[in-house]
Amino acid sequence: MDNKKKGIGIFIAAIMVIAGEGRKKEMEGRSISTWRPATRLGVGVIFVIILVLAGATTSAVAQPTTFFGEDTGLGEDTRLTSHPNADAARDAFLAQLNNPGTEDFESFADGATAPLAANFGPAGTATLQGTGYVNEVPTGTNGYGRYPISGDKYWDSSSSFYIEFSEPQVAFGFYGVDVGDFSGQLTLTYEDGTAETITIPHTVNSPGGTVIYYGFIDLEKPFTKVTFGNTEAGTDVFGFDDFTIGTREQVGPQAVPTLTPIGLIALIGLLSVVAAISIRTNIRKRR
Q: Which residues bind Ca ion (CB under 5 A)?
A: 104-105, 144-145, 148, 150-151, 153, 178, 181, 208, 236-237, 241
Pairing relationship of beta strands 133-136 and 153-157 according to DSSP bridges: antiparallel
Minimum gap (Å) between residue 101 Cβ and Ca ion:
14
Query: Cβ closer to Ca ion: 105 or 172?
Result: 105
CB of 257 vs Ca ion, minimal distance in Å: 37
Using CA atoms, how far apart are residues 11 and 265, in angstroms rounded to an integer?
11
The candidate with the shortest Cα–Cα distance to 121, out of 98, 95, 100, 150, is: 100
Identify which of residues 218 and 232 has a Cβ nearer to Ca ion in the complex.
Answer: 232
Minimum CB distance to Ca ion, residue 141 (Å) = 8
Query: Angle 28-34-39 (CA atoms, 0-180°, nearest 5)?
Result: 95
Distances (CA, A) of 61 to 6, 12, 57, 217, 219: 17, 27, 12, 7, 7
> Which are the contacts of 274, defined by CB distance < 8 A and separation ≥ 6?
41, 44, 45, 48
Smallest gap from residue 87 Cβ to Ca ion (A): 14
Nearer to Ca ion, 124 or 207 (CB): 207
d(CA 287, CA 275): 19
Q: Which is nearer to Ca ion, 147 or 223 (CB)?
A: 147
Q: Which is nearer to Ca ion, 42 or 151 (CB)?
A: 151
With CB atoms as reference, the residue minimizing the distance to Ca ion is 145
Tell the smallest beta-carbon distance from residue 98 to Ca ion (Å). 23
